[in-house]
Chains A and B, each alone.
Chain A
Amino acid sequence: MRLIDVFPFVPLVFGLATLLVPRGSGWVRLLPLVGSLVTLLIGVDLAVSYFAYGGSPQTWSIHPWISVPWTAAYSVRVDGISIWFVLLTAFVAVPALWAAWTYPDEARLRSFMFLLLAFETTLLGLFTAADLLVFYVYWDLMLIPVFLLLAGYTGTAEARRAAWAYLIYNGAGGLVLLLGVVGLVVATHTFELVGPKIVVLPALQWWLFGAFAIAFLVKTPAFPFHAWMPPTYTQSPPPLIAMISGVQSKAGLYGFIVFALPLFPDAARAWAPLMLVIALVSILYGAFAALAQTDMKTLVAYSSLSHLGLVLLALFAFDVTSLPASVLMIVSHGLISAALFIMLGFIEERVGTRDIFAFGGLAAKAPRLQSLMLIAAMAALGLPGLSGFAGEFLILVGAWQTQPVITAISLLAIVIASVYVLRLYQAAIHGGYRAPAGASVVELRPREMLVVAPLLAAIIFLGVWPAVVSSNIRMPMTPTSYQSSSMQVPG
């Protein structure tokens, strides 16, 4: 039993402990935060061991689990891809759980915290799983905390509808994935598919890739599987949406990088044209839709659709630069969207509305809020010097090499991004102060500043020095196996 074996369960254990704390005790707030910090520390420790020693027993562990009718193992690891997702999860969870301190219903705060921590466990489990069955288990389990947090903790009819939409869409995606997973295992007789290269017949690959891709596109989401996203992003409490948009939306892209692309190279090439179209439509549709929103959370939701479409473009351009840049962009988008959604939560709490035309000029009352919002907004529109820029730039440079037309059209979305982000920022922060009656706009409290500070610091840090991430990415596949016309399989 090694640390990596139990690492995903650390948040869950803290969550269970939180349930046992007497109601109203200060520990109800403190314990989850401590839990997320401990998780982050262990995550950093795993990263250090991985980059110091490579794939060592400290970062890879296998226990036989099932032997008939197929083999599966409890196999967990961090590697040059998954470690970034693990770090992102553990890092975003800290401000999320801290932001959860202000959840108003004291009576149900404990279970609220528990579900958030359980959600973190499923995400960590997903990103450390090296066995397809283990991966699928977490993929499906993710539904439960999100559904319950959405359905049970805001109490509005819209939130309940959002919860059902989330459940049905993601449940459907998960079940399609299950068909693919079982189809694959019937052919290979094992779920242990990371590491040993398994060659799947091209005809079967085509079907399996399709099943995997649908599930991953729903989770991201990408057009046309995004219908669940705006209601979910708009109705979630801020800590939850920070986790969903910051981390969970990367699960599908992670699935492409770690499972679908390396396992089904022939099918990936065959499906690439369709995937590129989906990416392009997501990029443009998300950007234009964001332009039309007046609800600030929905606006950021659509901008996510656009930005993650860009990651999809990076993956299916099969370029040596764009492939690793996709991971940089993923990490950066996770930080930015988590910071944005937490701050939008602060604003909504103050003005009591999400309609950007119902209030304005918050800078007059809350200059600190203005400064912090400025950093996040600039990062979102890809200003050089902040983390958003490096990823986008490298993706565009790389994708240009193999897909010049699609990349050129995508550039349009970068321009529009400036428009909708500045529109949001201007309407909310600048101009004369106005707010709905009864709103009490106060300056950011020190605790609130500390909540978003680490996210913003990381955004600036990665903007200045993106190589910390980008030069430490080990993709499980090389572009050559996808570009060549031969039917060669890597490995």
Chain B
Amino acid sequence: MTQIAIPAIDFGVVAPLAVLVAAGLLIMLVDLLSRRASRPMLYGIGIAGCVVSFATLAPQFGHPATTFNGAFATDRFSWAFDAIILIALAASLLLSLVRDADDGASPAAYSSLLVFCAAGGMIMAAATNLIVIFLGIEQLSLALYILAGTGLGRPASQEAALKYVLLGSLASGFLIYGSALLYGASGSVALADIAHAAASPSPLFATGFMLFIVGVAFKLALAPFHVWTPDVYEGSPIAVTAFMAVAVKAATFSVLARFVYVVFGHEYSAALAPLWAIAILSMIVGNVGAIAQTNLKRLLAYSSIAQAGYIVLALAGVTGAGLATMIFYLAAYAFMNLGAFAVIALVGDGAESAADIESYRGMFWRRPWVAACMTVFMFSLAGIPATAGFVGKVFLLGQAIWAGGWGVAMAVVLVLGTLISFYVYFKVVWAMFAPIDDAAPSPQGNSFVPWIAVVAGVAGVIVMGILPQIVYSLVAI
């Protein structure tokens, strides 16, 4: 008779996650018990949860630990991803305070789902076995499917949710099937054991690995698994889109990176070639697709496809410096995207229609500060120097060229994609700069809250662009 052994749980290790889950539950509880639970109060609980979670996360820096029999590992790697996810969560809660005119969703449901979603991301960042990975991805995804549809008054939001859930479930299917095959090939769900099977890959392993990559690529919006992205980004409420673009991408990259590094053991493997091909395709598809976009949310969706492709370059050499580069670029990506979405929220002031580039025409002459901040984000996305995006790209190119072979090819495509993206981002800047007849200042939005995210974004982009050492030395693993 076998006994079920409950593994010892180190609550200190899971504290940041536990705090976040508790905050989510508290939001629901408060909403249930208090009649006067206002939107700012509920969101405030979420933001407070972020702060407390970060306070418990901070001491973990430099103290790697595992729990749940090694299935859940906190190290510098997961620490950095957790920090990015918490920043994204706090920013999107802030942006959510600008009420979407068509948003009829319950504030409690909305904010608690957002918090649970972030908790899923944190699980992914720390997951070291296939089951925990799947658990994290599903917690994140299921909450996100609902969130995408919370613009209850807009059919586009419903459409986004439906597309996301259908295609997302398909991707989850690939992921779980791939995981099953990997388990079959290696006899274990722990990544460390799968690494043994990777040393002499069987057809079973190769198939499992490919299916796993497909599932992950879907979540990352890497081409050719990106088709859902523009519609979902455009349809979802702006705060959800911001969270989707940053936190989901960060969490999923943490899974991809841990998988590649643990399974392929810090050395270059030919088995990774499909991943490089996907990256090259994404850089092209994302940047070319962005050319024709007239809606900023769609433009940023294509941009995120290309940026995800760039980030894969960090893995090219499978080196420690590569991990640091990936985290650096993701942090840069977080600041510039959250900032750009915050500007959209600021300009729209609750109206989703304001994401048209046309409504930014002459912005420099109407609201110079808004335009200046947006320009910083656009330049960072384009990789113009003195911004975080530029330094990130230099690091990525360095990793890729150092790796040689596929790496050099990816570096060339990155440069080509960047050139195309110049047109995309400068088009936005140019629209804001265009002369307009009526240069009277347009009415200011009544919400200052997005300014917090905008200013934080600008500060992050500039500081990382001019003094990259501060962040890089923090994430160097």
Are A182 and B426 in contact (CB-based, < 8 A)? Answer: no
Residue B341 at the chain A interface, CB threshold 8 Å: no
Residues of B within 8 A of A168 (CB): 419, 422-423
Residue B448 at the chain A interface, CB threshold 8 Å: no
Task: Indicate which residue in A66, A148, A164, A172 contacts B419 across the interface (CB closer than 8 Å).
Answer: A172
Decide: A179 near B397, CB < 8 A? Known: A141-B384, A171-B419: yes
Residue A111 at the chain B interface, CB threshold 8 Å: yes
Task: Indicate which residue in B386, B394, B419 contacts A141 across the interface (CB closer than 8 Å).
Answer: B386
Are B434 and A152 in contact (CB-based, < 8 A)? Answer: yes
Are B422 and A167 in contact (CB-based, < 8 A)? Answer: yes
Are B415 and A179 in contact (CB-based, < 8 A)? Answer: yes
Chain B residue nearest to A183 (CB atoms) is B401
Residues of A within 8 A of B386 (CB): 137, 141
CA distance A136 to B383 in the complex (A): 12
Residues of A within 8 A of B416 (CB): 175
Are A175 and B419 in contact (CB-based, < 8 A)? Answer: yes
Residue of B386, B394, B401, B430 ringed by the most chain A CB atoms within 10 A: B394
| CB under 8 Å from chain A, chain B span 370-389 | 379, 384-386
Residue A456 at the chain B interface, CB threshold 8 Å: no
Task: Indicate which residue in B325, B384, B411, B429 contacts A140 across the interface (CB closer than 8 Å).
Answer: B384
B interface footprint on A37-73 (CB within 8 Å = 1, 0 otherwise): 0000000000000000000000000000111111000
Residue A194 at the chain B interface, CB threshold 8 Å: no
Residues of B within 8 A of A152 (CB): 430, 433-435
- Tier of interface size on chain A: 35 or more
Chain A residue nearest to B395 (CB atoms) is A69
Of B243-251, B292-300, B469-477, which binds chain A?
B469-477
| CB under 8 Å from chain A, chain B span 295-336 | 321, 324-325
Task: Indicate which residue in B412, B422, B426, B472 contacts A179 across the interface (CB closer than 8 Å).
Answer: B412
CA distance A172 to B418 in the complex (A): 9
CA distance A68 to B346 in the complex (A): 37
Residues of B within 8 A of A141 (CB): 384-386
CA distance A171 to B472 in the complex (A): 27
Residue B439 at the chain A interface, CB threshold 8 Å: yes
- Tier of interface size on chain B: 35 or more
Expressed in whole angstroms, the minimum distance between the Cβ of B451 and any Cβ of chain A is 20
Are A186 and B423 in contact (CB-based, < 8 A)? Answer: no
Are A68 and B473 in contact (CB-based, < 8 A)? Answer: yes
Are A136 and B385 in contact (CB-based, < 8 A)? Answer: yes
| CB under 8 Å from chain B, chain A span 277-300 | none
Residues of A within 8 A of B235 (CB): none
Decide: A137 near B385, CB < 8 A? Known: A68-B472, A68-B476: yes
CA distance A111 to B434 in the complex (A): 13
Decide: A175 near B385, CB < 8 A? Known: A164-B423, A167-B426: no
Expressed in whole angstroms, the minimum distance between the Cβ of B400 and any Cβ of chain A is 9
Residue B398 at the chain A interface, CB threshold 8 Å: yes
CA distance A327 to B395 in the complex (A): 35
Residues of B within 8 A of A175 (CB): 415-416, 418-419
Residues of A within 8 A of B433 (CB): 148, 151-152
Residue of B365, B385, B416, B429 ringed by the most chain A CB atoms within 10 A: B385
B interface footprint on A132-175 (CB within 8 Å = 1, 0 otherwise): 01001110110110011001100100001001100110011001
Residues of A within 8 A of B384 (CB): 140-141, 143-144
Are A178 and B397 in contact (CB-based, < 8 A)? Answer: yes
Chain A residue nearest to B415 (CB atoms) is A175
Residue A185 at the chain B interface, CB threshold 8 Å: yes
Are A176 and B472 in contact (CB-based, < 8 A)? Answer: no
Expressed in whole angstroms, the minimum distance between the Cβ of A490 and any Cβ of chain B is 26
Residue A474 at the chain B interface, CB threshold 8 Å: no
A interface footprint on B266-287 (CB within 8 Å = 1, 0 otherwise): 0000000000000000000000
Chain B residue nearest to A153 (CB atoms) is B435
CA distance A139 to B430 in the complex (A): 20
Residues of A within 8 A of B72 (CB): none
CA distance A133 to B384 in the complex (A): 13
Chain B residue nearest to A143 (CB atoms) is B384
Are B419 and A69 in contact (CB-based, < 8 A)? Answer: no
Chain A residue nearest to B320 (CB atoms) is A69
Residues of B within 8 A of A68 (CB): 321, 469, 472-473, 476
Residue B68 at the chain A interface, CB threshold 8 Å: no
Residues of B within 8 A of A172 (CB): 419
CA distance A456 to B476 in the complex (A): 56
Expressed in whole angstroms, the minimum distance between the Cβ of A133 and any Cβ of chain B is 8
Expressed in whole angstroms, the minimum distance between the Cβ of A22 and any Cβ of chain B is 14
Expressed in whole angstroms, the minimum distance between the Cβ of B367 and any Cβ of chain A is 14
Expressed in whole angstroms, the minimum distance between the Cβ of B448 and any Cβ of chain A is 23
| CB under 8 Å from chain A, chain B span 402-438 | 402, 411-412, 415-416, 418-419, 422-423, 426, 429-430, 433-435
Residue B116 at the chain A interface, CB threshold 8 Å: no
Expressed in whole angstroms, the minimum distance between the Cβ of A442 and any Cβ of chain B is 28
Residue A430 at the chain B interface, CB threshold 8 Å: no
CA distance A172 to B419 in the complex (A): 6
Expressed in whole angstroms, the minimum distance between the Cβ of B405 and any Cβ of chain A is 14
Residue A108 at the chain B interface, CB threshold 8 Å: yes
Residues of B within 8 A of A178 (CB): 393-394, 397, 415
Residue A405 at the chain B interface, CB threshold 8 Å: no
Expressed in whole angstroms, the minimum distance between the Cβ of B75 and any Cβ of chain A is 19
Decide: A107 near B476, CB < 8 A? Known: A164-B423, A178-B397: no
Chain A residue nearest to B469 (CB atoms) is A66
CA distance A227 to B476 in the complex (A): 44
Residue B364 at the chain A interface, CB threshold 8 Å: yes
Expressed in whole angstroms, the minimum distance between the Cβ of A235 and any Cβ of chain B is 15
Are A140 and B385 in contact (CB-based, < 8 A)? Answer: yes
CA distance A108 to B469 in the complex (A): 38
Task: Indicate which residue in B321, B395, B435 contacts A155 across the interface (CB closer than 8 Å).
Answer: B435
CA distance A140 to B382 in the complex (A): 11
Are B435 and A179 in contact (CB-based, < 8 A)? Answer: no
CA distance A168 to B291 in the complex (A): 14
Residues of B within 8 A of A186 (CB): 398, 401-402
CA distance A160 to B412 in the complex (A): 28
CA distance A318 to B439 in the complex (A): 56
Residue B201 at the chain A interface, CB threshold 8 Å: no
Chain B residue nearest to A177 (CB atoms) is B415
Expressed in whole angstroms, the minimum distance between the Cβ of B411 and any Cβ of chain A is 7
Residues of A within 8 A of B395 (CB): 69
CA distance A178 to B423 in the complex (A): 18
Chain A residue nearest to B404 (CB atoms) is A186
Decide: A151 near B430, CB < 8 A? Known: A66-B469, A69-B398, A183-B401: yes
Residues of A within 8 A of B402 (CB): 186
Residues of A within 8 A of B412 (CB): 179
Decide: A147 near B426, CB < 8 A? Known: A171-B419, A175-B419: yes
Chain B residue nearest to A148 (CB atoms) is B433
B interface footprint on A57-99 (CB within 8 Å = 1, 0 otherwise): 0000000011111100000000000000000000000000000
Residues of A within 8 A of B435 (CB): 105, 108, 152, 155
Task: Indicate which residue in A144, A160, A164, A182 contacts B397 across the interface (CB closer than 8 Å).
Answer: A182
Residues of A within 8 A of B419 (CB): 168, 171-172, 175
Residue B468 at the chain A interface, CB threshold 8 Å: yes
Chain A residue nearest to B401 (CB atoms) is A186
Chain A residue nearest to B411 (CB atoms) is A179
CA distance A418 to B385 in the complex (A): 43
Expressed in whole angstroms, the minimum distance between the Cβ of B374 and any Cβ of chain A is 14
Taking A141-B386, A175-B419, A178-B415 as known contacts, 15 extra A-B pairs with beta carbons closer than 8 A to each other, sorted by chain A number, are: A66-B472, A68-B321, A68-B469, A68-B476, A108-B435, A141-B384, A151-B430, A152-B434, A163-B430, A176-B415, A178-B393, A178-B397, A179-B412, A182-B398, A182-B401
- CB pairs A–B below 8 angstroms (10 shown): A65-B469, A68-B321, A108-B435, A137-B386, A141-B386, A143-B384, A147-B430, A167-B426, A182-B411, A186-B401
* In the complex, the 6 A-B pairs of residues with the closest C-beta atoms, listed nearest first: A137-B385, A182-B397, A152-B433, A175-B415, A171-B422, A140-B385
Residues of A with Cβ closer than 8 Å to B? 65-70, 105, 107-108, 111, 133, 136-138, 140-141, 143-144, 147-148, 151-152, 155, 160, 163-164, 167-168, 171-172, 175-176, 178-179, 182-183, 185-186
